[in-house]
Copies of this chain bind each other. A is one copy, B any other.
Amino acid sequence: MLQVLTKQISNQELNLLAYFKLQAMSMENLALFTDLYELTMGQSYFESWNAKATFELFVRKLPPNRGYLIAAGLEDVCNYLLNFRFKEEDLEFLRKKGFKEEFLEFLRGIRFTGDVWALPEGELVFQNEPIIRITAPIIEAQIFETFIINTVNFQTLIATKASRVVNSARGRPVIDFGSRRAHGIDAGIKAARASYIGGCIGTSNVLAGKLYGIPIFGTMAHSYIEAFPSEKEAFRAWIKSWGVDTVLLVDTYDTLRGVRNAIEVVEGLTGRKELKGVRMDSGDMVKLSKEARRILNEAGFVSTKIFVSGGLDEYVIDDYLNKGAEMDVFGVGSSLVTSDDAPKIDIVYKLVESEERGRLVPRMKIAENEKITLPGAKQVFRIEENGKYVKDIIGLSTEHLKGEKKLVRIFENGELVYRLPSLDEIREKAQTELSKLPEEYKKIRNPATYPVEISEELIKLTEKIKRSIV
């Protein structure tokens, strides 16, 4: 009886926990997904000076081996800003943590009321270029910092990594297989989306397929083969269930015997030489792929594709193809979704303007031993010649320079004034932009540094402010 009771209580507790976490994950309730100092600063601003300020999100230095980044994450930032509000339970929590009543009352009424300019998702980003610029009362703008950096950092990281892997595959399709090694549930879903933006043709993640309409891929695991008394019996059960427009996993016991078994089972069941693909995931992949191709061709399975997975990234794929591997489709997992050779971007969110006597005044930080932050609200001007990008100029938002202005208006006085593109539009955008970027910046190792210049006006402003501080 006691045992039963304990079980019931535990189950109830758990359901409560699950409910809490459900709440935690909803976009509506991410106001508390922020660093405590954003709120302690908020209370101090509230008591002294809650004026308008402008913050810009940018990358000081591209991660190792990256010659460009692909912007991603703006859609989630828009959702977050539109839904931003504190719930009573959030305020109750903050009350317990010692925040003052007047400030909590102020937080209760907070809605996003500011302006946003941003690089649309799928656009290329280079060092020091603003990705998102937010002008809002400083308390709001600060609270958003943690979420915005988190979201743009991760999705940009993965869209970029995906584009590198896709590039290394030289036209062969790449599929995201990384959900299990992504850093949490949100990362698994967002990595699928970002990978698709970066050029993958789809994902193994069913939920990402449902949420975003991304094509989903997958057939069987080694465990399926092992669950049957023999590999052939497993293949037979599979073909009966799914037909031949499928991919058979051939490396559970012996890869080449697996290929022969696949051929035998398909011919035995259908009398035809048709099978979508075979997949191999272990062993000496270059050698095995060549032998598998020969065996398939000799048996008349010339249209059967060789799918490869297991420990892939852009460096491995490049190496395989350099060695003449016979590989047609790549499933890439852990390295793609963790961007394991560069799992973070040096992305920062800095104050560039603040209000003084009713107008926004350019600001900059000059910490010792650290690069300065360029002051003022900025715009990126990208210059194209003969269909290729040649350089960018970072200028003030008020300047009129040659080149395409890359930051567009997203919010005006808290209202979304930008049509969010579909995921396929974003993906196409990324591909178009990448096609305009010269090859030297796309090399997977030691790419050239794309030239990003600072406009004369911005240089002058920077010098002027520097002199006024020092």
Chain A contacts to B: CB under 8 angstroms:
3, 6-7, 10-11, 13-15, 17-18, 20-22, 24-28, 30, 32-41, 43-45, 47-49, 53, 55, 75-76, 78-79, 82-83, 89-90, 93-94, 97, 138, 142, 145-147, 149-151, 153-154, 157, 177, 179-191, 204-207, 209-211, 216-224, 226-228, 237-238, 240-242, 251-255, 282-284, 334, 338-340, 343-344, 350-351, 354, 363-370, 415-420, 469
Of chain B, the residue at the smallest CB distance from A13 is: B420
A424–B187 Cα distance when bound, in Å, is 26
Q: Which residues of B contact A40 (CB under 8 A)?
A: 218-220, 242
Known: A35-B204, A37-B220, A420-B13. A18 touches B25 (CB 8 A): no
Task: Please name 16 further chain A to chain B contacts, defined as beta carbons within 8 Å, in addition to the given A90-B210, A185-B186, sorted by A numbering.
Answer: A7-B416, A18-B26, A21-B76, A22-B25, A32-B207, A35-B204, A36-B217, A37-B218, A48-B237, A151-B184, A154-B184, A184-B187, A222-B367, A253-B366, A283-B368, A283-B369
A167–B339 Cα distance when bound, in Å, is 27
Q: Is the CB of A97 within 8 A of B216?
A: yes
Of chain B, the residue at the smallest CB distance from A236 is: B48
Return A16 CB to nearest CB of chain B, in Å: 10
Q: Which residues of B contact A17 (CB under 8 A)?
A: 75, 79
**Copies held by the complex:** 2
Return A110 CB to nearest CB of chain B, in Å: 15
Known: A55-B223, A367-B282. A11 touches B184 (CB 8 A): no
A33: contacting residue among B146, B207, B334, B367, CB under 8 A: B207
